[in-house]
């Protein structure tokens, strides 16, 4: 996983950043392929983008509504209007960077990703 992309200013590109990390590509490449720019990545568009890149994923989000859960090895977390990536006990966020402690009260839902072989 190329975490160097997190050093850029990625505000408004949270879903695109998650996909870029998963696919080992630049955020710019994801934006171009999905035609989805800053502040435009909704949940539906995230699913469409994952499908575009043929990312093996769960059919739907699992909702926890702020309760602590045991996350799968790789998943995209959905907070209130924000996405971040979780992989092997580490969180990757386009705003906060890389961290291991997480406030589960912010978590609304998560989408399991079966992409371990690419990372």
**Quick check: is 27 in a domain?**
yes
**Quick check: is 1 in a domain?**
no
Name the residue range of residue 53's domain.
10-118
**Would you state the structure tokens that stand for residue 117, as one six-digit string?**
């072989």
Query: pLDDT 10s per residue in the chain (119 long)?
Result: 788 889 888 999 999 999 999 999 999 999 999 999 999 999 999 999 999 999 999 999 999 988 889 999 999 999 999 999 999 999 999 999 999 999 999 999 999 999 655 55
The whole-angstrom separation of Cα 7 and Cα 53 is 23
**Quick check: is 87 in a domain?**
yes
pTM of this prediction? 0.92
**Quick check: is 32 in a domain?**
yes
**Quick check: is 80 in a domain?**
yes
**Quick check: is 5 in a domain?**
no
State the CATH number of the domain containing residue 54. 3.90.70.10
């Amino acid at each position: 996983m190329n975490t160097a992309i997190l050093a850029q200013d990625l505000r408004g590109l949270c879903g695109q950043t998650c996909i870029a990390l998963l696919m080992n590509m630049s955020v710019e490449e994801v934006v171009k392929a999905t035609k989805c720019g800053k502040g435009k990545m909704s949940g539906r568009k995230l699913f469409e983008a994952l499908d575009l890149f043929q990312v093996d994923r769960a059919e739907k989000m699992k909702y926890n509504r702020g309760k602590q859960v045991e996350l799968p090895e790789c998943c995209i977390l959905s907070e209130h209007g924000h996405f971040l990536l979780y992989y092997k006990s580490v969180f990757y966020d386009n705003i906060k960077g890389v961290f291991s402690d997480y406030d589960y009260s912010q978590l609304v839902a998560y989408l399991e990703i079966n992409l371990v072989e690419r990372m």
